Amino acid sequence: MPAGREDVARDFYSGLLGLEELEKPVALAGRGGAWFVLPDGRQLHLGVEEPFNASRKAHPAFVVSSLDGVAGAMEAAGFVVRWDEELAPRRRFYGEDPFGNRLEFLEV
């Protein structure tokens, strides 16, 4: 993520996606970025990179119980949702976070 955009990360990952933010260890807090915990206990760490380059290929994949709900929330917030049928019958879509990083969402 770009430096100084932690509030934007919180709005998206906590506010929109509902992930809980984790407090970064004191030794790492000065580096910026934001950490979040997923419902299964795994963590997503957003580190600051300067100059920033969005991750367009490598990406996390989130397994969600309400794929349509997440897609609708993202679209309502102005994010583009791109449905993909390559894993049919399993449903999934791709989107981006506010920084342009690729994200994948799959239905349970």
Tell me the pairing of strands 34-37 and 43-46. Answer: antiparallel
10-32 burial by CB neighbour count: b if 16+ within 10 A, else e? eebbeebbebeeeeeeeeeeeeb
* pLDDT the model gives residue 62: 96
Encoding tokens for residue 20? 């809980």
Q: Provide CATH code, domain 55-108.
A: 3.10.180.10
Range(s) of the chain covered by CATH 3.10.180.10: 1-53, 55-108
What lies within 8 Å, CB to CB, of 86 at 6+ separation is: none
- SS3 category, 27: helix
Encoding tokens for residue 95? 């989107």
Sheet (strand 61-64) strand order: 61-64, 102-107, 92-96, 82-84
* pLDDT the model gives residue 45: 97
Fold of 1-53: 2,3-Dihydroxybiphenyl 1,2-Dioxygenase; domain 1 (3.10.180)
pLDDT digits (tens, 9 = 90+) for 17-75: 999 999 999 999 999 999 999 999 999 999 999 999 999 999 999 999 999 999 999 99
Amino acid (one-letter) located at 30: G
Cα 38–Cα 42–Cα 101 angle in degrees, nearest 5? 70
* pLDDT the model gives residue 52: 96
